[in-house]
Structure formats: C-alpha cells, structure tokens
Structure 1
Amino acid sequence: MKQQSPVSRQRPAAADAAPPALRQAVLDGLFASPKHLPSAYLYDARGSALFERICELPEYYPTRTELAILRAHADEMAGCIGDGAVLVEPGCGAGLKTCLLLSRMHAPRAYVPIEISATALQASVQAVAGRCPKLAIRPLQADFTRAFALPEGLAGARRVVFFFPGSTIGNFDPQQAQALLARWRLLGGPEAGLLIGVDLRKDPAVLQAAYDDAQGVTAAFNLNLLLRVNREFGADFDPASFAHVARYDEARGRVEMHLQSRKAQTVRVDGQALRFADGETIHTENSYKYTPDGFAAMARQAGWQEAARWSDDAARFGVQFLRAG
C-alpha cells in the first residue's frame, strides 16, 4: 500500500487533480469487467492524509520496520552506494527515510526526486531541503512508471543510484515490476545501483490486519476513492453502499484490496450508468509480497545483481542493494 511510508502502497502522491492519463484509466477500469481502479488514484489530498495515519497504526508494520532497518544499517548502505553518487527517488515521499540515507552518504552529488504531481513534488523538495540545506536538489516532474530522462548535467555522473523504499514495488505485478526495474537499469548505466525496500511473505493474519485495521482507517482510505470519483466525474456513489475488503491470495503472494457492493445498484459516472450486482467488487490495489531470494531472482531478470540485503529480526521486511549486472 504505502509509500515513503508504504499497504505496499504507493507513496503519497497527488494532492492536485488527476492528470488526463490517470482520469482515463479510472473510467476504463470502472467500466471494465471485472471492475478495477488504479491504485495511484488512492492518493488525493485526503487519501494521502489517511495513508499517513495508516503508517502510524499498530497493525501496519512496514513503515516503522523499514525505518528501523535504515537506521541500523545506513552506514553500510552508504558504503554500497559509494562516493559522489546521484540519488534518484521515483515517487518521492515525506523525506525522513531519504534524509536519513543522504546524511550517511559520502559527498552525494545531487538528489533527484521524481513525482507526477507538481504539488507533491514541491512538498517533497521542501521537506528534503529543510533537512539537507547544502544538498543540490534537481526535481523532476514525471510519471516514474513510464520512460523518463534524468535532468541535464547528471547524465555524466559516476554513479546513479535509485532509492525505492516503502515496498512500493509491490504495487506492480511481477512482470510490470521487472519491466520497471529493467528501465531503471538502462537509465542508470553500467555503474547503476538500486536500494529498494521489499515487504516479505509472512503469516497471512499479520498481512490481513495490516490492510484491515481495527480502527477502520484503511477502510476509510479505500472508500475515499468513491468520494474522489464523485468529485472528479460527477458520480453519485454512496460510500455506505460499499464495504472495504482486504484478502491475501497465497497462490499469487499478494494482498488485494476491493470495494464490495452491499446490494445490486446503479451508479452514474461521467453521465453513464454503471451497474453493480450484489457482492460485486471494484479491485483497488494489489500489494505483492516476496521472499528475499525470489525478489533477487526477479531483479536478475531485469539486469541487476544483488550485492547486499538487510532485514529485521522477525524477517517481516527486507532492504536490498542491487548493482547493474
């Protein structure tokens, strides 16, 4: 889910209106069979605020576990990254993990936060600049899930290292994840590095609680999607007519989030009738979980070689450093 905080979620992103491509993906998904919505659409201003609350819940272990791993091993990670590197962060977040890493790096050349939302990008730049005032920051407004070019003047850097915490990689199915990592491998060049957080497979009961907390914050986060569709598409969803559903698919190794219709109903969306059967769902998010070896094997297919790995004592969450293979 979650991002610079992760459910493995995407990082808190858009506080402003959805860009055209995302708006079209929303309409295409709602009128598809089965119905689905892009997980990036979860992060409007209210969604991002709810996500931050999720990250503080007792059931939601990924954020605090990854942060503890970074605090314990940041010097080792900085050693893997090396001197004078450019740190590139696709889907930048609130800056705590980023600044923790940057503070241990040896003479970082620049930091490149990447975000599709101009509002979120500006907030991220301000957060990092406040904690790292001497650092050169080269923000890039772009969709990191698509091809992009690094800012001018950085292409000749000795090493480009991508930083992708929060297990955001889990929001992509394995084929998409492999393709994303392969693009970054080519963009980073022969000396490229990747420091990435990965949520690990574990007791399904732990995962279930993390995505369906007792206070109902994750349910509110998921149901907020309907309020956003109402606002941006003139729809008339009644959130009380839908239930938050989270379930772990052990065969696929992923947590799924859905919004389930409590009855047969018809909703107007963008001037069109959208019909639901009783119990029909809108699939809103996947969060894939990996074994350390399984993720390393997938990364090899994308052109990366594992150089180091770290985890907590309970093996709930992992961080890996990969080098261009």
Structure 2
Amino acid sequence: MSFAEEFVAGLRTRHIAPKWFYDAEGSRLFERICLLPEYYPTRTELALLDRHAPEFAARIGTGAEIVEFGAGASVKVRLLLDALESPRRFVPIDISGEYLAEAAATLRADYPGLAVEPLAGDFTRDLVLPPAAGRRIGFFPGSSIGNFEPEAAQALLARFRQWLDGGALLIGVDLFKEPAELHAAYNDAQGVTAAFNLNLLARANRELGADIDLGAWAHAAFYHPPLRRIEMHLVSRRRQVLQVGGERFEFDEGDSLHTENSYKYGVEGFRALARRAGFEPGPVWTDAARRFSLHWLEPANPA
C-alpha cells in the first residue's frame, strides 16, 4: 500500500506504521537523532562495529555482497566495508528513494572499486533482489527489528533468510535497561525526536494535501514494562477534525495516534526468536554495560 493508503487506514485504526517516518526530511531528522547525547544505540553500535570489524570480516570472507536493510545514510556499513577484503557489491535498501540515491552517490565516490546498486523499496513486503554477485550477507543495524511486533519480527527474519540465499545476517538488537535511560533516549532535550515524530503529519500535509495543524499535536514516548517496549504517540492537544483522502476523522483532546514501538530484548530471548525464524544463532557481541548487542545469524538449513 502507498503512504496515502496507509496513512488514511492508520487514522482509522489510530496506529500508523513507523516506516512512513522516512521520507527525505524524516531520514535527515533521524540522522540528527543518532548524534544526540541521550541516544545511546548509535554510538554504542558504532563502537562495537569498529572494535570487532576484523572478526566480522573474517566471517564474511572475500568477495562478498552486502545487503543492508533500511540503509539510510549507510554510515555504519562503512566500518564493515573498510575491513572487508575485495567486497564485490553493496545493495542498500531503503523506503526513501531520494535519500537513498544521495547516500549511494556518496558511497560510489568514496569506494570507487565497489559496485553500489541501491534498491528503493519496502523490505517488509515482497522485493526482487538482483541475482547475488557473491556470498550474500545481510546487515540490519540500529535495532530496527524492535519496531516490529514479535511475530512480525520473526516473519521478517524468515524473509531475510530467504533473500540471503544461504548467507548470514549481522543484526543489531537493543537490550533491556533502566526505564529512565530508555525514556531519555526517546525524549531528548533538543526536541529532535519530537520533530521526527511530528514530521509524519507534516509529510501528510506535503504529499497528501492535508491541512493538519502541527501545533495541535504533542510528542509522547514512554517505556511500557509489561510489553517490554518503548511506545511513541502523537497526542491531540484539543478537539479537532482531520480531513484526509476524502474522509473525516475526529480526535478529542488526549486522543493519540500510535506511531512507533521499539521492543527491547534479552540476548537469549532474541536468539530464541532467531531460531524460530530458521536461523542458527552464532556469536553475540555486546558493550561492557550490555546496552546493545550485535548478533551473527547463520541459516539453520543453508540452501
């Protein structure tokens, strides 16, 4: 479904999928989030990738193809590419075609010997990947797997396993930690995460001809312990009516649009999820404080 279709459907159900955050402006805002002092996942994962790059390179081998799901600016993959021996091709996949094209152009300039073939599309749905140019290794950093309900996360991992055609997956997974630290990460003092959340409504104004008053909505994010997830919402500050796609939607003061979940895992819990998706979990790398983890997953029954 298109953004227009899913946005209107989301207004009906009061739940909009977080993949629609990532137009060009949303992607730029997320890159700013990654630099915030409160947002520990990016710097922790970058440190892990930098520290263990030789180990990853040894497992990946020579002449491999790297497929990055939800590539964004493709910053983290550079640590892999710099450590690899003669990588054959890089296939970044992202839903934001404009932002993806900019990032791919930069990578081509910085890695002139590497074939960079971006694929604009939604990896949560059926995609046609080009024939593999070497051993295909998946890369899914940033703990984006946490945006999916556990059953949907399992289904997504199973889809990755099929696309990787016998290759392995290196995936980032955020771990349980103190609720106060989680709260701060999604409620930064500069308000960048709030702007990122509100950009979903701004995108509807830009692309769908909506006339949504952004000042009538507030960003809300909190940790929900029983479900082990951060929830992000947009909360209506007053009674209002939205007219989008020829439909009329009423919101009372305090009503919310649920825009994102971010599930947190224990190491063993995620390994069990990976097994249910058809992977055989391998090594796990974590920082000293066990804030974040990187998992190496091999297909349980290679093609």
**What is the TM-score when the length of structure 1 is the normalising length?**
0.88
Does structure 1 residue 175 correspond to structure 2 residue 175?
Answer: no
> Does structure 2 retain, via aligned residues, the 8 Å contact 1:85–1:161?
yes
Supply the AA of the counterpart residue of 1:233.
Answer: L
Rounded to whole Å, the distance in 2 between the matches of 1:303 and 1:272 is 42
Deviation at 1:118? 2.8
Counterpart secondary structure, 2:196: helix
Rounded to whole Å, the distance in 1 between the matches of 2:58 and 2:190 is 41
% identical aligned pairs? 52
Q: Provide structure 1 residue ranges, at least 5 long, that are not aligned to the other structure.
A: 1-19
What are the residue-to-residue correspondences of 1:269-284 with 2, within 5 Å?
269-284=244-259
Counterpart pick for 1:185 among 129, 147, 161: 161
Deviates more, 1:218-227 or 1:173-182: 218-227
> Does structure 2 retain, via aligned residues, the 8 Å contact 1:212–1:218?
yes
Other-structure match for 1:57? 36
Deviation at 1:91? 1.7
Other-structure match for 2:124? 145
Counterpart pick for 2:61 among 74, 77, 82: 82
- How many residues align structurally? 300
Deviation at 1:269? 1.9
> Does structure 1 retain, via aligned residues, the 8 Å contact 2:97–2:121?
no
Q: C-alpha offsets along residues 127-163 of structure 1, whole Å, 9 cap, x if unaligned?
A: 22222211122332332112223213x27x3x21100
Other-structure match for 2:92? 113
Deviates more, 1:134-143 or 1:251-260: 134-143
Deviation at 1:28? 0.4
| Cα distance change, pair 274–287 in 1 and its aligned pair in 2 (3 A) | same
Deviation at 1:105? 1.5
Counterpart pick for 2:5 among 3, 24, 30: 24
| Cα distance change, pair 178–25 in 1 and its aligned pair in 2 (3 A) | same
Supply the AA of the counterpart residue of 1:268.
Answer: Q
What are the residue-to-residue correspondences of 1:82-231 with 2, within 5 Å?
82-152=61-131, 154=132, 157=134, 159-190=135-166, 192-231=167-206
> Does structure 2 retain, via aligned residues, the 8 Å contact 1:94–1:127?
no
Other-structure match for 1:248? 223
Counterpart secondary structure, 2:39: coil
Other-structure match for 1:303? 278
> Does structure 1 retain, via aligned residues, the 8 Å contact 2:64–2:88?
yes
Supply the AA of the counterpart residue of 2:283.
Answer: A
Deviation at 1:29? 0.6
Deviation at 1:241? 1.5
Rounded to whole Å, the distance in 1 between the matches of 2:282 and 2:249 is 50
Supply the AA of the counterpart residue of 1:140.
Answer: L
> Does structure 2 retain, via aligned residues, the 8 Å contact 1:242–1:259?
yes
Supply the AA of the counterpart residue of 2:160.
Answer: W
Deviation at 1:49? 2.2
| Cα distance change, pair 138–236 in 1 and its aligned pair in 2 (3 A) | closer
Deviation at 1:181? 0.9
Deviation at 1:272? 2.5
Q: RMSD of the alignment, in Å?
A: 1.6
Deviation at 1:225? 1.7
Rounded to whole Å, the distance in 2 between the matches of 1:184 and 1:43 is 21
